[in-house]
Amino acid sequence: MDILNIDATLIVQMLSFVVLLAILRKFAYRPLLDALEKRSQYIEENIKSAEQQKADAEQIKAEYQAELKQARQEAHEIVERAAKASEERGKEMISDARNEAERMKKSAMAEIEMEKQKALTELRTQVAALSMLAAGKIIEKNLDPATQGALVDEFIKEVGDLQ
């Protein structure tokens, strides 16, 4: 069988293959495998940084949410405090107004009393004078000056008692 002849061709074929392998390894596979390695590194880095960014974003989100919550609480407190303050202020104003009114009323009463006293005193003086005049006119003729003087004194004394 010619076709099954095994000779030195076998060795040459082995060598040919080894040479092909060596050439390809040196010139073709090296750059390709480097490129593959680089790509997988690149992808790994990308994934890593994406994960990092995601974690960062989540942290920032949590921070913002906490801040938002706090701000809301503060706003609520401010509103509450303002409401309380205005209520107090209103109450104060009302009581102030009441006090003022009371005070004005009192001073008005005092004035009225004073005026009343003043009027009474004046009235007494006038009444005394008028009585004197009237009495004088009535008894002018029939009274000697001594009796007249005694009457006047008595009258004055009575007026003084009235006071």
Partner 1 sequence: MEEKLILWHVGPFTLHGKTLVMTWISMIAILIFAYFATRKATSGRPKGSQNILEWVFEFIRNLISETMDWKKGRSLLTYLVTLIMFIFFSNMLGLFPNITFGLLNHVQTLQLGEIFHGPTLASPTADVNTTLGLAVLTWILFVSYGIVFQKAKYFKHFLDPMPPFIIIHLIELVTKPLTLGMRLFGNIFAGEILIKVILGFIPITALFLGGFLLNTVWLAFSVFVGAIQSFVFTVLTLAYVAQSVGEEH
Distance CA 71, CA 124 (A): 78
Min dist CB 37 to partner 1, Å, is: 8
Count, residues near partner 1 per rule CB under 8 A:
34
Shorter beta-carbon distance to partner 1: residue 23 or 78: 23
Displacement of CA 84 from its chain's centroid (Å): 9
- Residue for token pair 């960062």: 56
Toward partner 1, which CB reaches closer, 23 or 68? 23
The least CB distance from residue 31 to partner 1, in Å, is: 4
Nearer to partner 1, 8 or 162 (CB): 8
Q: Are 135 and 155 in contact (CB under 8 A)?
A: yes
Q: Which of residues 34-73 bind partner 1 (CB under 8 A)?
A: 34-39, 42
In contact, 143 and 151? CB cutoff 8 Å: yes
* CA 122 to each of CA 109, 114, 131: distance values in angstroms, whole numbers, following the listed order: 20, 12, 14
Residue list 3-32, contact with partner 1 (CB under 8 A): 3-14, 16-18, 20-21, 23-25, 27-29, 31-32
Structural contact between residues 132 and 152, judged by C-beta atoms closer than 8 angstroms: yes
Note the residues at the interface with partner 1 (CB under 8 A). Answer: 2-14, 16-18, 20-21, 23-25, 27-29, 31-39, 42
